Structure 1
């Protein structure tokens, strides 16, 4: 006797349906993800992505390789700390070198020791120059910086095209600094420290690419270990290069402390040396 087609299908469907019902009713395995979810990736899974690198893993190398300029400062309530931006054209700057941090673009230059352990940057007592500033906002700036950059700070630093340094103090103040490479970083090593005396007036000098060029008049001078001049200064000569960070004012004689770097890739028609101002040692207005 031949059965109808519907009777032939029933046995074939019964077994899969029974298995599906049993699977739905069995206790859930705690290690198995809920239906519709992908299994979690474990550390033992070879396909797992590598753990993210700590943001401060290279802070010890990153800090001295850059100048750090303040871009954002907020208190524990998230309010901008206006007192730290008394000089909008010259933000507060931190520089780290040889276990010391220096603070510039304030009324007085400040400096002190520091230690770095993991995510904690500890700043020691800061010493400062004693120059008076006519602008009361600049005078207050020193106190505001000293109050917020003191003791143990939580540090986070990221590298990349635009390095960033974030310091948070115990009171919840959050200071964000942006890094720009130092001259030593840009030129691939430390420079040679020299002193140049710059005369009060420039003089015409011949340059094939710059008509009517005016050159600084400079001569090299030397100081001993006590900061006293020693020997005879060199001859006055035309200075065809630029001194990074220095703007000459006619009628003013200056003694400059300069770091001189040797370029590895010398641009066309340029000197093999690069000159970067470290500080102005002496400054004098010269009457005509």
Structure 2
């Protein structure tokens, strides 16, 4: 009888010991999964197939959202890590734009690998290069290369716009690689120093141009100064949509303001641009590319050390495509400075060069006869 009572007395301690062991095991498992997940969230992962004109890009966000850029459509879902080496995903949702055949094939590949799947994976580093290897349901391995996801790099890869309902022009922030912050308030330009430290943006004293502005823009300029002048600014970033990420910053009272990002051409094309000056005629001409269209007429200009311009070719050339950021005016002759980027792996109907407007150098109104 005493033995029976002793067993009953020890039973709760046995159950507690089992529970403790289970808790320890759960804690260890969670730590392993968290460590593996951090390896995924620390990088932006790129897969470049030889047959695709644009790369496949993965972002494993801290909010358990998976964002995939296929080169045309964007896909998204949820994700988590199980067992320290398996990515478990939900069914992917996608935008529905028509894409070229190579990108449609890449979109299907992405869905085959990541849509509602348990995906074995391994992360390794060699020569300071992060590598993510995933295995699809057929046992085929796919290798992604990683770019470190740092707040500073994400800030410099985009220009950030905040549009108040009270003005027609946005505030635009440019975090430059030389640790200068340029602020376009809609009228005057401000600039200061910046760095990311202890999860806040640290700014210095603001300097500003001193043009007279309309009252609403003067008020917006004052707002930008109050927000950015010599502060430690709490901020949050959401890059689940790489084409339009958001930057939320808070003022001294804790009020949040959301800036929307637009990728810089340097980040988009991943090449160093060449500076080119183009004169653009007011008249356009019919031309034939992939299909009949209307083309601008341009001629390249060279400037010497004294600022004297000469034409590389005095004859006008047809310009197929568009200059990003430039709007043609049939009543103006203009000279523009563009950044010319080399396009890696262009599609069959795409130019190998991309021009982005840097500034308008000259403009002249042309009277129609």
TM exceeding 0.5: yes
CA distance in structure 1 between the partners assigned to 2:356 and 2:265 by the alignment: 7
**Structure 1, residues 85-131: CA drift from partner, whole Å, max 9, x if none?**
4346x542212223222223622333333223232322233344444
Aligned residue runs from structure 1 range 85-234, under 5 A: 85-87=165-167, 91-98=170-177, 99-104=179-184, 106-134=186-214, 136-151=215-230, 152-162=232-242, 163-199=245-281, 201-211=282-292, 213-223=293-303, 229-234=307-312
Instruction: Report what 2:134 is aligned to.
Output: none
Q: Secondary structure at the match of 2:287?
A: coil
Q: Secondary structure at the match of 1:206?
A: strand
Cα deviation, residue 244, structure 1: 0.8
Aligned positions, number: 254
Indicate if the aligned counterparts of 1:122 and 1:150 stay in contact, CA closer than 8 A. no
Stretches of structure 1 lacking an aligned partner (at least 5 in a row): 1-10, 72-83
Indicate if the aligned counterparts of 2:274 and 2:339 stay in contact, CA closer than 8 A. yes
Residues 261 and 150 of structure 1: is their aligned pair in 2 closer, same or farther, counting only changes over 3 Å? same
Indicate if the aligned counterparts of 1:260 and 1:273 stay in contact, CA closer than 8 A. yes
Q: Secondary structure at the match of 1:271?
A: coil
Q: Secondary structure at the match of 1:39?
A: helix
CA distance in structure 2 between the partners assigned to 1:16 and 1:279 by the alignment: 91
Cα deviation, residue 197, structure 1: 2.0
Instruction: Report what 1:50 is aligned to.
Output: 34
Instruction: Report what 2:127 is aligned to.
Output: none
Cα deviation, residue 274, structure 1: 0.8
RMSD in angstroms over aligned alpha carbons?
3.5
Residues 140 and 50 of structure 1: is their aligned pair in 2 closer, same or farther, counting only changes over 3 Å? same
Cα deviation, residue 64, structure 1: 1.1
Residues 241 and 175 of structure 1: is their aligned pair in 2 closer, same or farther, counting only changes over 3 Å? same
Instruction: Report what 2:98 is aligned to.
Output: none
Cα deviation, residue 45, structure 1: 6.2
The structure in which a higher percent of residues are strand is 2
Instruction: Report what 2:48 is aligned to.
Output: none
Cα deviation, residue 259, structure 1: 0.9
Q: So what's the TM-score if we normalise by structure 2? A: 0.58
Aligned residue runs from structure 1 range 51-90, under 5 A: 51=35, 58-70=150-162, 84-87=164-167
Indicate if the aligned counterparts of 1:202 and 1:214 stay in contact, CA closer than 8 A. no
Pick the structure with greater CA Rg: 1
CA distance in structure 1 between the partners assigned to 2:278 and 2:24 by the alignment: 66
Residues 15 and 47 of structure 1: is their aligned pair in 2 closer, same or farther, counting only changes over 3 Å? farther
The structure in which a higher percent of residues are helix is 2
Question: 2:118 matched to 1:39?
Answer: no
Q: Secondary structure at the match of 2:247?
A: strand
Stretches of structure 2 lacking an aligned partner (at least 5 in a row): 43-61, 63-147
Instruction: Report what 2:9 is aligned to.
Output: 21
Instruction: Report what 1:75 is aligned to.
Output: none
CA distance in structure 2 between the partners assigned to 1:191 and 1:124 by the alignment: 30
Indicate if the aligned counterparts of 1:95 and 1:102 stay in contact, CA closer than 8 A. yes
